[in-house]
Amino acid sequence: MAEPTLSALDPEIARLIKEENKREHETLRLIASENYASRAVMEATGSCLTNKYSEGYAKKRYYEGQESIDQIEELAISRLKTLFGAEHVNVQPYSGSPANLAVYLAFCKPGDTIMGLGLPFGGHLTHGHSVSITGMYFKSVPYGVRKEDCRIDMEEVRKLAKEHRPKLLWAGTTAYPRTLDFAAFRSIADEVGAVLAADIAHISGLVATGVHPSPVGIADVVTSTTHKTFRGPRGGMIFTKKEHAAAIDKAVFPGLQGGPHNHTTAGIAVAALEAQAPEYKVYTQNIVDNAKALGEALVARGFSVVTGGTDNHLLLIDLTNKNVPGKVASKALARAGMVANYNAVPFDPRKPFDPSGLRLGTPAVTSRKMGKDVMLKLADWMDEIVSAPEDEAKIARVAGEVRDLCASYPAPGIVV
């Protein structure tokens, strides 16, 4: 007797998956941390590999039956070494946040001083924010951006580093639209004897192809997620210099976690192979070109774009001059089929859960092969909705137009 299908066994979950599948086809996904994984990546992550437990590392496992698993992990590591020019790679972190925690465990003791870009200025929770374990177990000294142009002030970073002598210095962001100067961070870290960690979770796909400068070989350790611009599964990876390889590996396992998710490791290997193809570099350049085009179009329509534009895949929009809070705007846009997220902007007078801004990203729409012409249309739609976020008739009309557009640009990886 055949096993029951998901729809037969659990129709409620099957229905919800179908609904999400439909949503991902019929809406413009503009959340900067989202993308579409390929069909091949999804096949790997939905495979029998999810059944296998594999504590340890290749050739050094605690369970038997690892012949295939070891080869899969070694393939993922080899491909990533080639792609990023890294001396050592660990692909076992469950996501970007555990990858960052492994850096703390490898290099710091509780109470050590750390520095990272403050959350209100575009930094990540795990770079020392007070609500994160990283801000509770370590003495966090955040740096910020200049008020006049909202760019990271490297002189302030140097001044704070010389004053506080951090053990660990983070160069990484989650809502910052400009190129990071990793060499400048390296200089500061050397000046104060700090370990330099670069978090490229958002930009790893751009880094892999040279569209954004790489910190690999400059920073002591580099962390990343494996989705976002990289278009892989939901996982994490760490690149290090050889001298830190043992410390990082020990921090990941057994320091923080047990068996790796082998199905995810396989998906990472597939994504790394895809990223070596010539068309992938074209794709990552198109991500940036689309973000620039969207930013310019929004500026032309009276939107205030933080820093005036972007060098990467994301835009941060300050809606103060539109007299619409970020949450109101993001919810109205979502009803109109444009899914983004509300976000604080630098020096935001509003509260974090009800901020002034929007964060937009172009990885997912670029994966659908949408180009600059669509970005111009998107700017028109956004202008319409943000100008009248309670006009449900207009929202419904735009949502229909968005669905029609999406039908012409099939979403990769999933089938309706």
What's the longest Cα–Cα distance across the chain? 71
C-alpha distances (whole Å) from 263 to each of 67, 100, 252, 302 are: 15, 21, 18, 46
Residues 327 and 331: their CA atoms lie apart, in Å, by 6
User: What's the half-sphere exposure (Cβ side, CA atoms, 13 Å) at 135?
Assistant: 16
Q: Is residue 217 part of a domain?
A: yes
- Residue among 410, 179, 135, 172 at smallest CA distance from 292: 179
Structural domain boundaries enclosing 362 = 286-407
Give the span between the Cα atoms of 337 and 357, in whole angstroms: 18
Q: Is residue 153 classed exposed, middle or buried when 0-12, 13-18 and 19+ CB atoms within 10 A define those classes?
A: middle
Are 253 and 310 contained in the same domain? no
Residue 215 in this model has a pLDDT that exceeds 80? yes
Backbone Cα Rg of the chain: 22
225 classed as catalytic: yes
Q: How many domains is the chain partitioned into structurally? A: 2
- Is 69 a domain residue? yes
Q: Do 398 and 270 fall within a single domain?
A: no
400 and 358 co-located in one domain: yes
pLDDT at 414 over 90: no
pLDDT category of residue 387 using cuts at 50, 70 and 90: very high
Q: Is 27 among the catalytic positions?
A: no
pTM of the model: 0.96
**13 is a domain residue:** no
Give the pLDDT of residue 217.
96
Q: Which of 158, 234, 281, 350 is catalytic?
A: 234
pLDDT of residue 66: 97
**Same-domain check for residues 130 and 234:** yes
Q: What is the mean pLDDT of residues 359-372?
A: 98
199 and 55, same domain (yes or no)? yes
Q: For residue range 316-335, what is the model confidence (pLDDT) as tens digits?
A: 999 999 999 999 999 999 99
* 8 Å CB contact between 236 and 93: yes
Domain boundary among 214, 240, 275: 275
Cβ atoms of 239 and 218 within 8 Å: the answer is no
Domain for residue 280, yes or no? no
Q: Are residues 146 and 111 in the same domain?
A: yes
Query: Is residue 416 scored above 80 in pLDDT?
Result: no
- Residue 271 shares a structural domain with residue 390: no
Q: Is residue 351 part of a domain?
A: yes
Mean pLDDT, rounded, for 53-79: 97
Boundary residue ending a domain (217, 243, 275): 275
- Note whether 216 and 297 are same-domain residues: no
CATH number of the domain at 391, please. 3.90.1150.10
- The pLDDT value recorded for residue 64 is 97
17 located within any domain: no
One-letter amino acid at 34 equals E
Q: What is the pLDDT of residues 41-50, one digit of tens each?
A: 999 999 999 9
User: Sign of the CA dihedral 140, 225, 82, 107?
Assistant: positive
Exactly one of 225, 229, 240, 265 is catalytic; which is it?
225
> Annotated catalytic residue: which of 52, 79, 228, 292?
228
Q: CA-to-CA distance for 254 and 94, rounded, in angstroms?
A: 13
Quote the CA–CA distance of 238 and 229 in Å, as a whole number: 16
Give pLDDT, residue 251: 98
What whole-number percentage of the chain has pLDDT above 70?
100
Buried b or exposed e, range 216-233, using 16+ CB within 10 angstroms:
bebbbbbbbbbbbbbbbb
Q: What percent of the chain has pLDDT over 90?
A: 99
Do 201 and 77 belong together in one domain? yes
Per-residue model confidence (pLDDT) at position 2 = 86
pLDDT number for residue 415: 79
219 pairs with which residues across the strands? 216
Q: Is 281 part of the annotated catalytic residue set?
A: no
Is the pLDDT at 216 greater than 80, yes or no?
yes
The reply to whether 228 belongs to the active site is yes
Q: Which of 238, 253, 275 is the last residue of a domain?
A: 275
CATH number at residue 157: 3.40.640.10
Residue 3 maps to a domain: no
| Partner residues linked to 140 by β-bridges | 114
Quick check: is 226 catalytic? no
**Is 389 contained in some domain?**
yes
Q: What's the rounded mean pLDDT across residues 67-76?
A: 98
Q: Are residues 244 and 95 in the same domain?
A: yes
What average pLDDT does the structure give for the chain?
97
Catalytic site residue 3? Answer: no
Q: Are residues 75 and 222 in the same domain?
A: yes
Indicate the residue type of 188. Answer: I
Q: What tokens appear for 215 in the block?
A: 């910190």
Q: Are 53 and 175 in a shared domain?
A: yes
